[in-house]
A and B are shown apart, each in its own frame.
Chain A
Amino acid sequence: MDVIDLGMRAFLINRILWMALVLVGLSLITFFLAFVVPADPARYFAGPHATNAQVEALKRQFGLDRPPYEQYLLYVWRLFHGDLGLALHTRSPVLEDLAVRVPATMELAIVSIIIGTFVGVFVGVISAIKKDTVIDVIARVFSLGGVALPGFFLALIMQYIFYSQLSWFPAGGRIDTDIPLQQITGLNLLDSLLTLNLPAFLSSLQHVVLPALCLSYISLATIARVTRSSMLEVLSQDYIKAARSKGLSNFVVIYKHALRNALIPTSTVIGLTFGNILGGAVLIEFVFRWPGLGMYVTDSFLTVDFAAIMGTTLLIVLIYLIVNLCVDVLYSVIDPRVNVMQK
């Protein structure tokens, strides 16, 4: 037991050191990309009517007149003091912006993963049981649609059908602006439940449905595909034959014996699709004007706002790395046959 724990600890230390290295490398890349770009952030911030002297003063104020390596060290120094710089396009500190945006994206991502997992596993199981029938073909095409349909296009279609034609759901935003909501965790759905604010809950729920459906379709495809193939593999195992020959009903065999084992690969994929969800959120949030990380990063890219770009990419990569680490660790907990130390 001790030996295993020791291995696990070494593995964790190794991975966390590696994560730190990735973040340093990443910050270097994004930081020096800023010097390749011809855009002049000080001039942008000063506005179109500023004199050259005003722009120079701003440059000095932001430290933009110093050599790149000095600016980088200054950035890292500030980073460790919790200062990510000033976002030019929102004119407020990046850290404050991110603190508001992260819960919004989290809420969207969590709801989408829940939808994607349930529907994905269901579709995968159905198409494995009904392999090579019409149902299987339909299920596979349906899940392939999630891979092939551009997220922004799906979002537009959803808006057209459910907002413009049926007016069931709002076109964008997180909550109706005239409904007051006390912020506790920043997750609107949770906050409104905690404060027993029913109108706010319903409004948040209405707003989250369309973007979450669009986003879940991306992860659904991968989850369904993996569930299908692992289910097929499990169904051909001897213990399934044994279960059947014991006279157990089809339902019990499939849901109690097969599905449980088939879900092991699915569970890792759910973690991995989290990366896709974060990436997909960029476009979905952009179309639905969902005030999360994705919309923020797009706005920063479009205004070439480097403090905001750096802060957001660092954060997104950090989240992504942590999720992947958790997946690897969980994997070895769920399936003891897998040894995380052997790569």
Chain B
Amino acid sequence: MNRVRSFIEGWKVRNRSRIREFRLSLHYFLKSPLAVAGLLITLAIVVVAILAPFIAPYPDVYVDLQNKYLPPSWAHPFGTDDMGRDIFSRVLYGSRITLEVGGAVILVAYSIAIPLGSIAGYKSGRLDNLIMRFTDMFLAFPSIILAMAFAAALGPGILNAMLALAVTWWPWATRIIRSQALVIKNSYYVQAAKASGGSDFYIVLHHVIPNCLGLIMVQASVDFGWTVLVAAALGFLGLGAQSPSPDWGLMVSIGRIYFLTKPWLSLFPGIAIFVTVLGVNLLGDGLRDVLDPRLRRR
């Protein structure tokens, strides 16, 4: 017990500056109502996704043709859809798909982008040129069209949509990380590490990537929002998740033909997409303001 306590004390002393920095960041973060709202929304969605099977009053996939197209009521807060399914429950379950798709795409895209971007920025020269020209090729597309092209070529389905999105996303992330790595490369601490004999690999791993993490966090949360939007668009066009999945984009698409007479079919899944993307964007903006010391003073 004593050993644990002394370890914690030692850790506190060694990381004094980091703890202070964290407290300061937290202070600024909590001062911004929009950032806090973003954090709360994001947390709420994560909680809903985890607890969906316990809090949803109905399962996500079933057929109850007796109760088709019921408008919102106490029994069905968001109404029922064309198969008589409870839309509220399906929206709750849909949060799982959204988080899975967004999370997986960001994970794949960034595990390509972080090594490529930091190496391109740090090593510059030929390798940098090669990587950047390659990303330029992908950036020449509006991303939705590229994602549609890959999704159409791979065939409709949620996994293929995820793959298409990851293929679309890594070039953007790579560019942003590279630009940060370029700045870090010229910093004194990297020069010092070089002078004391650090290998390129060591410097990229211990100096370049850790110092990109703040930017990566901000960018990943904003990208998460974009991913959710494009995944929803693919679902809406029939190129993403397939029926009977409770994917929000697909649900909006199913309700589209009834929208003028029975708007609740599309309305609630649409709002769910909006709230999710708004939440992560507010969170990303808040993090950006906090992590960039120049913006704090403003």
A282 and B256: CB pair below 8 A? no
Question: B120 contacts the other chain (Cβ, under 8 Å)?
Answer: no
Contacting residues, chain B, for A287 (C-beta < 8 A): 256
A301 and B259: CB pair below 8 A? no
Q: Tell me how many residue pairs across A and B have CB atoms closer than 8 Å.
A: 122
A313 and B233: CB pair below 8 A? no
B145 and A316: CB pair below 8 A? yes
Asked, given contacts A22-B136, A153-B266, whether A147 binds B149 with beta carbons under 8 Å apart, the answer is no
Question: A331 contacts the other chain (Cβ, under 8 Å)?
Answer: no
Q: What's the least CB distance linking B226 to chain A, in Å?
A: 8
Question: A144 contacts the other chain (Cβ, under 8 Å)?
Answer: yes
**CA–CA, A163 to B260, complex, Å?**
9
B263 and A152: CB pair below 8 A? no
Asked, given contacts A159-B259, A302-B237, whether A148 binds B149 with beta carbons under 8 Å apart, the answer is no
A25-33, A45-53, A94-102, A241-249: which lies at the interface: A25-33
From B143, B149, B225, B274, contact of A313 by CB (8 A): B149
Which residues 225-263 in B have Cβ within 8 Å of A in the complex? 225, 229, 232-233, 236-239, 249, 252, 256, 259-260, 263
Question: A199 contacts the other chain (Cβ, under 8 Å)?
Answer: no
Question: B142 contacts the other chain (Cβ, under 8 Å)?
Answer: yes
Question: B298 contacts the other chain (Cβ, under 8 Å)?
Answer: yes
A5-13, A118-126, A272-280: which lies at the interface: A272-280
From A38, A153, A317, contact of B141 by CB (8 A): A317
A150 and B229: CB pair below 8 A? yes
A148 and B142: CB pair below 8 A? no
Question: B277 contacts the other chain (Cβ, under 8 Å)?
Answer: yes
Asked, given contacts A148-B274, A232-B298, A309-B149, whether A156 binds B259 with beta carbons under 8 Å apart, the answer is yes
A148 and B225: CB pair below 8 A? yes
B252 and A148: CB pair below 8 A? no
Question: B144 contacts the other chain (Cβ, under 8 Å)?
Answer: yes
Question: B278 contacts the other chain (Cβ, under 8 Å)?
Answer: yes
Closest to B156 in A: A302
Contacting residues, chain A, for B63 (C-beta < 8 A): none
Q: What's the least CB distance linking A68 to chain B, in Å?
A: 14
Question: B70 contacts the other chain (Cβ, under 8 Å)?
Answer: no
Q: What's the least CB distance linking A275 to chain B, in Å?
A: 5
Given contacts A141-B34, A282-B148, 19 further A-B contacts (CB under 8 A): A18-B136, A25-B137, A26-B137, A36-B153, A38-B155, A145-B274, A145-B278, A148-B274, A152-B233, A153-B270, A153-B273, A153-B274, A160-B260, A164-B260, A282-B145, A283-B233, A297-B148, A301-B239, A313-B141
Q: 12 A-B Cβ contacts within 8 A? A: A22-B140, A30-B149, A33-B149, A33-B153, A36-B153, A36-B154, A148-B225, A148-B277, A163-B260, A301-B149, A309-B152, A317-B140
Q: Which residues of B contact A (CB under 8 A)?
A: 33-34, 136-137, 140-145, 148-150, 152-155, 225, 229, 232-233, 236-239, 249, 252, 256, 259-260, 263, 266, 270, 273-275, 277-278, 281-282, 285, 298
Counting from the closest, the 4 A-B pairs by CB-CB distance are: A279-B142, A153-B270, A148-B278, A148-B277
Q: Which residues of A contact B (CB under 8 A)?
A: 18, 22, 25-26, 30, 33-34, 36-38, 137, 140-141, 144-145, 147-153, 156-157, 159-160, 163-164, 232, 275-276, 278-280, 282-283, 286-287, 297-298, 301-302, 304, 309, 313, 316-317, 320-321
